[in-house]
Structures are given as structure tokens and as C-alpha cells.
Structure 1
Amino acid sequence: MRVSFIKYIKLKSSMTYDLLLKNVKAFTTSGPFEGDIAIKDGKISKIGGDIQEQADKTIDLSGKYLVPGLIDGHTHMEFPFMGEVTADDFYYGSRAAIAGGVTTIVDFVTPAKGQDLLSAYEKWSNNADPKVVSDYGLHMIIREVNTKILEQIPEVINKGVVSFKLFMAYKNELMLPDGELYKLIKRISDFGGVTGIHAENGEIINELIQEFLSEGKIDPIYHYYSRPDIMEIEATNRIASIASMIGKDVKMYIVHTSTGEAVDIISSYRRQGFKFFNETAPHYLTLNTDFLKRPDGYRYVMSPPLRSDEQRTKLWIRLASGDIFTIGSDHCVYSDAQKKRYKEEVPPFNEIPNGVPGTENILPILFYYGVKKGIISMERFVEVTSYNPARLFGLYPRKGTIMPGSDADFAVIDPNRKVRISADVLHSNINYTIYDGMEVEGWNVMTIRRGEVVYEEGQVIGKKGSGKYIPGKTPILL
């Protein structure tokens, strides 16, 4: 059993603070600082060089890195899709998040066909509230357009759901035609909301799928061949053109961007003054299409698909340059049985539920392959994992920073801890990980959520249902 590095000091005299973090080496977007952090009532109360006031509990963080609690702006808990519901409910999914230093997830409300937005919001909140260990916010998926949907957009925003997701793919399920995309982006923008876009050309993808199936080409690798790079690039260019017609007040981000060219399109608009942004995911930075050719390639089916090593390199370059705005996991977990449709044989690629685990792996993947390898700085790490998501989803300055008055949300990293990633060291409700066997250096060893230690050295100690809904406010974007 590993001995905890934490030194707890109980004081008997009158207390000033609830928690005092000593010998902190913290990182923010403006650089590192060393000193102490005092916490009261779940908030950062004081930051100083050597705080002497008493506290109920003191934790010595010598030798560790402290960063703002990560914000995973892209999770799908209890997500109904392709005839299945994801294996991670809000309890298991938020446990995995907490273990990975993610103190806030932003999940996607997914209305059923014909369901209005407000009733879907209530259902998602009721599902999440009794289960979450992390704090959480919500996005709203819109899959159809009618008068009631349009009327409810400002009502949903008033409930703190300030970001929406629209799909250009998954024909006959979630995909919207261009005219409806235009109408929704305009309506969301009128009330100050943010529009997220799944950018792939669903019409052509559907044709390619049918072509491959008719030729008997059904292996998982054909998931990639049916969704080539150009499908994302074309859709990104098209939606950027549509949104730019509405005006520069539109706030839009392209989720799970997998190609450098799509990033470049959005960056070019941003340089012209548009508030357009990109998100990418850890798997696009570390895995490639070869994983789809393995016997367990079905585990690696997600959309957009894994790309070439050339595209991986392009994404790292753009992450380092600042062109990629956020990192989100797209945590959408299906068990082996679900992925294989409860059969011995792997089903045709178009029948495999799309999605992979990831929220617990953002920190070690980005820290090791990004920071340790010298590609990005710690400041950039903080920017894309907490500061920018907080600004984009209206959570800043309550979340995403280290300053007095903000929530005391932290991930504590042992920068030298070496770990071989496997399902055994993770906390999701499945028996595999897409990062199996990867050896990383740098690991989250403690998570503090609103001043409470909720994870320490492999153990999630935060209680089920102790997380809170954090309503989004006006996004803060330059």
C-alpha cells in the first residue's frame, strides 16, 4: 500500500480557515507562484507567501504541482445513442472525472425526439443531482426545430445552460439541415448563448457507409474510411461561413476537432474578429488509425474517427500555438458487450456505438505528452484544461482560476509519478481503456473540490451526490 504524502495537522485552538495548503507550487495562465493557499467555506480566502493563521486541516504539498481543477466541457453520461445508454452514469462518470483531477464536467442534455428542451433539462438535472461527485454544468443538444424549441432557448439560458450543441452528422438521428442550423445559431446568438457544432458532412458520410457495406467492407477501419478528413474540413468551412453571415456577435466552437485544417479555418475567422473556437480531445493527440485495425478495434470507434500521425502532429502544433482553445474528453463510454452488440463477432462498423472513455485521462495524457515532452507550457496546460473552458461556458471566475473568491478546486500533480495506464488504475464503469499500456510520467494524486479532499492516492472519497450544479453565466470571450 502506498503511504500518503499528505501531512494532516489537527489544531485544537480556534480555527480561522477550513483548509490550509502549505508549500504550494501553483500554476495559472499568468505563470507559477509558490506560497500558501487558505480556504474557507469552499472558496479561496487568501493567497500568501507564508500564511500563519490557524486552520482545521493543513496539507503540505511539497514537491507537487497545483493547478486549477480541470473542467471537462465534453462528457456524455447516461447518453442514449444508437440503441444503447452509455455505461457511465453520473456517479461512475463523475468519479472517474474526480480521480483525474476534473472538478467540473459539462454534460449534454439530450432530448428525446419530440421532447421539449425544458423537460429534457429537468430530466438531466434529476438524473445528475443525486449521483454526481464532481460539480457539473449542462449543454443542450437540439435535434429538431419547431416553435416551442425556439421559444425555450432563452428560458434554458436563464437556467444556466448557456451552450448548445448542433449536429451536421448522424443522418436521421441528430443531423440538422443548413437552414435549421442557420436559424438556431442566430436564435442562440440573440440571447448571448454559445453554439457548439459537431462538424462532419453527414450526407456524404451516409453515402460512403452504404458503399462500403454493399462491398462487404465492414471492419472497424472502414469507420475511418467512411469519414475521411475532408468530411470534417468541409463541414467546418461550411458552418463557419453560415455563422459569419449572422455576424461577429456569434459565439461558436467546433467540438472534438480532429484535423489541423479544420483548426486553421476557425483560427482564420478568429483573426478577423469572429468569436469562433476549437476543441480537441486527448485521443486525437495520441492515437492513430492503426488502432482501428486491431482485434479490439471496435473499442476505438468514435466520431470523428482517429486520424493519421500527420494529423496528430498538426494538432500538437496548433495546441502549442494557441489555435486550439480547449481540451474536452468526449467521454462517452460503452462496455465491450455494448460495443459488440452482445454478440461474439464484432458487428459491422456502422452498428458499433460511437464513443470512448477519457475524462480521467485528460490530465496525465496532456501533462506527459504535452508538458513533459516540451510541446506546451504549464501555463498553456492550465489555459486549455480549465481557464478557457470556464470562460467559454460562463463558469469564470467561479471556476478555472486560482484567486481569492473563486471556488477552491484543485488538482494536485506528482510530476514524477510514473504510471502504466490500465483499467485497474482507473474508475470508469468498464473493464478497458483506450490508453491501455501507455506509460506516463505525471499523475493526479489528490483532487480538492470546493475545499474538500474528494480524491487521494487512488481512492475517491467524495460522497455520491455531493457535487453541485453550477449554472453558466455570460461567457467571457475576447
Structure 2
Amino acid sequence: MRTLIKGGTVLSASGASPADVLVEDEKIAAVAAPGVFSAAGMAADEVLDAAGKYVLPGGIDAHTHMEMPFGGTFSADTFATGTAAAAWGGTTTIIDFAVQPKGGSLLSTLDAWHGKADGNCAVDYGFHMIVSDVNDTTLKEMETCLDRGVSSFKMFMAYPGVFYSTDGEILRAMRKANDTGATIMMHAENGIAIDELVAQALASGRTEPVQHGLTRPSALEGEATSRAITLARVTGAPLYIVHLSAAEALAAVAQARDEGQNVFAETCPQYLYLSIEDLARPGFEGAKYVASPPLREKKHQADLWRGLRTNDLSVVSTDHCPFCFKEQKELGAGDFSKIPNGMPGVEHRMDLLHQGVVAGKLSLARWVEACSTTPARMFGLYPRKGVIAPGSDADIVIYDPSARQTLSAETHHMAVDYSAYEGFEITGKVETVLSRGKVVVSPSGFSGGSGGRFLSRDLCQYLG
């Protein structure tokens, strides 16, 4: 099967140029100046006209939680619905988190997540491992996970009694990562202090959703981020801070990077566009916006945009972990600490970050870099993913930069009953999506099915 994408502007992490793209079966065969393939008489089985459009590598969302167990329920998107929604939004690869239970095995956990995902995904996928129980067996299993294509391990300084690891346990895992080349990912919030603040709030009768944000102050994210960086410095391990939301945490990351330490961080669209004012919406409405770390005061947003421009924030992921407002978020009615933590977003990441381009906050190259190329490098997928180049997988998005759309639960494809961005009017829209050469989204609709494959990942290739 040969597909020609003609007349578009091909985007990369280094710039933009008019070019045509030739796809042979699942791979990109060639990229050439406009008209070269036609002039050479090369016939194609399918021709996609990208005139006036951007042609960019499919997005890579390196932080999703499909079918995630939390607080007695599960996130609303299955791997089938979540990856289909991802495709609608121009994301052609997700990396999801397999959750080790306390006392459980990493390898049996990985098997369980394969059971959820294999044969059910519309786009390609990989796994990170959540390490919640550090012991000799777990540390040995980390090596086997690497052999099985899982090269990154997430730990928590939050959620005591559930996912929380002590500094000593983190140190042990980081030493193993330094020995093997694996990457440690860190949820950096001071969970011990947060739990005390939560208990104080509940004891005083403060139970509304906004208390979730007020009991998780940004200073405690900054403190934990600094502590994680120090532990990484002691062990020599690379460190990736997930879902960074606060200026204090960003300052710690920037300082470490300036000093030459291999510290990286991601942020998420919710921290760029939403704020604690959403958590404080009337009644129980704020429960829709409960996630951890929490939404911050708006003043943090300018710092995060600046961090994206300077590359102190290397990646934009979603932390997609959707819980329906009805029946799921409502589990926390009368007690904010029982509201399932998480928000939907996998479908809108590419569009929302494109608004930064529209507003002059980001370049086109930086948009592609943060959404696709850097996550591919960071998590051992480059150059198979993250770039439009000969030999790479034909994961390609044709994007209309002038189209207008309004985000709404009525039109999104995620399996959740609300939109965190309800009524947002944005510029730009995905028109066509190819996953390994197959059109899965087009102006006529979704045709993806369940052809996504598991991606066995290499070690981090990113030194930016």
C-alpha cells in the first residue's frame, strides 16, 4: 500500500518546510520537495491533499491511566475507548502506567496490563511501571522489565499507605536505575505533610472540593521536587518529574538542569489553562477538576509557559485519568479526600498546546518537540516514532491550523460525562491521522479498529 501526502507543510522539532511525504505500507519511504514524486511518475494507491495544512509526526502522550484502579473504582476510559479518543486528537502513541499493588509482583502486574491492552488499542502503546513496594524482589524484577521493553519506573512521594515510598526506598530504586540505565519518574508531593493538612481540614468541617487544592500547597510540591532531585544527584540516576504544576517545583528543576544534572519534567494542559478557581466552582462542580497535583493559582501559568519555551519543561503529557462526574466523582460528596483524583484530556492535548502557537507563546517546532519528538527520545522510541523521516513509522497527522472548534462533552470521544474544557473555543483541528500508514481518522470519521501494537522501548535517548 502506497500513500502520498502532498501539498502540506511538514513540521519537525527543527522547523517547517513545504514537502510531500511518501508512505509505503507502515513506514515513511521518502520526504521530498513538493511535486517531486508526481514528476517522477510514482503512482500511489491513495493521495491525501494537505494543501494549507500542517503535516506532523503523530503525538506521543507519555502519561495516561486507562482502566486505572483508584479509590474503589476505575478510570472511565478502557484501552479501546481511550486510544480511540487519543487518535481523534492526533495522538498515535500512548505510554500507560501498570500499577504494582502493595505486596505484588512487577512482572505479574505487567502481565495484567498486557491483558487489558493487547488487542484492544486503536494506536500503539507502551507501559511504564508504577513501583509501590520496594524490596529485593522488586529491584530484581526491574531488570526483567527492561528486558521486556519497559524502561521507566514511576514512584510516589504522595499517597501514604497506597503508593508512597520513603526516601530510603526511592534511593534503592534510583541506584538500580543508575546501574541499568532505567529512568525514574517521580510524583513529587510531600504526602506525609499533605495527609496532615487533609486531616485538619476535615476535622474543622472543610469538606468542599476546593480543599483538595488548599491542602496540597505548591510549596510542598516544590519541597518534594527538590528532595527527589537531591536523591537523584546522590545516586547518579536520571530523574523525570511527572505532571509538574508549580513555580517552586519548576525553579528546582531549572536549577538542577543549569548545574548539568539529568533532570527532566513534564507539565499538562490543565496546569496551563485551568486554575484553583475551577476547583472552587459552586456546589460540587469543582470535583470535576480534582487531580493531583491540584490546579494552582493562575500566577503559576506564566512560569509554566516560560518553562516550555526554555525547555526546562521538556514534555507535555495529559495524566489522562478520567472519572465520570456522576457516580464516580460523587463518591467524594461531603469528603473531598474521597473524590477520585484525575481529569480527562487525552483527546485535546495537541489542540490545547497549539493554542500556545496561536498566541505566540510557542513556535511550531516547539509544539512538535514537546508533544512528539522529545517524548519519543525520552522514552526510547526515537526515531521509530516522533519524526517524519524515511524509515520511521508512518504515524502522521494532517492538521488544519485555521479550523475553529468548540470543546465539549457533547462532541468529544472520551468515555467520560464532562469536559474539563467545556466551551473552550480554539483554533486548529486534526483532519486526518495515520497510524503506521493506516488512516484511522479522516473527515469522514473514525476507522481505526484495534490495530495498535505494544512498543518494546529502549533506554532514554534524550540529553536536552
Normalised by the length of structure 1, the TM-score is: 0.94
Tell me the residue number matched to 2:4. Answer: 20
Tell me the residue number matched to 1:33. Answer: 17
Tell me the residue number matched to 1:395. Answer: 381
Do the aligned residues in 2 keep the contact of 1:260 with 1:318 (CA within 8 Å)? Answer: no
Tell me the residue number matched to 1:12. Answer: none
Q: Pick the aligned partner of 2:323 from 319, 334, 337.
A: 334
Q: What pairs up with 1:217-366 in 2 under 5 angstroms? A: 217-247=206-236, 250-294=237-281, 295=283, 296-341=285-330, 346-366=333-353
Once the two structures are TM-superposed, the CA of residue 245 in structure 1 deviates from its matched residue by 0.7
Do the aligned residues in 2 keep the contact of 1:162 with 1:472 (CA within 8 Å)? Answer: yes
Once the two structures are TM-superposed, the CA of residue 458 in structure 1 deviates from its matched residue by 7.0
Q: Pick the aligned partner of 2:148 from 151, 159, 183.
A: 159
- Partner of 1:425, secondary structure, is coil
Tell me the residue number matched to 2:364. Answer: 378
- Partner of 2:174, secondary structure, is helix
Once the two structures are TM-superposed, the CA of residue 34 in structure 1 deviates from its matched residue by 0.9
Once the two structures are TM-superposed, the CA of residue 474 in structure 1 deviates from its matched residue by 2.1
Structure 2 unaligned residues grouped into runs of 5+: none
1:472 and 2:461 aligned: no
Once the two structures are TM-superposed, the CA of residue 405 in structure 1 deviates from its matched residue by 0.4
Do the aligned residues in 2 keep the contact of 1:425 with 1:458 (CA within 8 Å)? Answer: no
Whole-Å separation in 2 of the counterparts to 1:338 and 1:121: 29
Whole-Å separation in 1 of the counterparts to 2:272 and 2:252: 19
Q: What amino acid does structure 2 have at the position aligned with 1:347?
A: G
Q: What amino acid does structure 2 have at the position aligned with 1:99?
A: W
Q: What amino acid does structure 2 have at the position aligned with 1:406?
A: S
Whole-Å separation in 2 of the counterparts to 1:340 and 1:195: 30
- Partner of 2:159, secondary structure, is coil
1:132 and 2:121 aligned: yes
Tell me the residue number matched to 2:101. Answer: 112
1:447 and 2:433 aligned: yes
Q: What pairs up with 1:169-184 in 2 under 5 angstroms? A: 169-184=158-173
Question: Number of matched residues?
Answer: 456
Whole-Å separation in 2 of the counterparts to 1:336 and 1:446: 31
Task: Write out per-residue CA displacement over residues 443-469 of structure 1, whole angstroms, 9 at most, x where no aligned residue.
Answer: 112111111110123722101x21011
- Partner of 2:60, secondary structure, is strand
Whole-Å separation in 2 of the counterparts to 1:443 and 1:320: 23
Q: What amino acid does structure 2 have at the position aligned with 1:380?
A: R
- Partner of 1:446, secondary structure, is strand
1:216 and 2:205 aligned: yes
Tell me the residue number matched to 2:137. Answer: 148
Whole-Å separation in 2 of the counterparts to 1:64 and 1:425: 23
- Partner of 1:55, secondary structure, is coil
Tell me the residue number matched to 1:428. Answer: 414
Once the two structures are TM-superposed, the CA of residue 424 in structure 1 deviates from its matched residue by 1.9
Structure 1 unaligned residues grouped into runs of 5+: 1-16
Whole-Å separation in 2 of the counterparts to 1:380 and 1:121: 33
Whole-Å separation in 2 of the counterparts to 1:458 and 1:355: 31
- Partner of 1:336, secondary structure, is coil
Tell me the residue number matched to 2:56. Answer: 67
- Percentage of matched positions with identical amino acids: 39
Q: Pick the aligned partner of 1:96 from 85, 94, 97.
A: 85
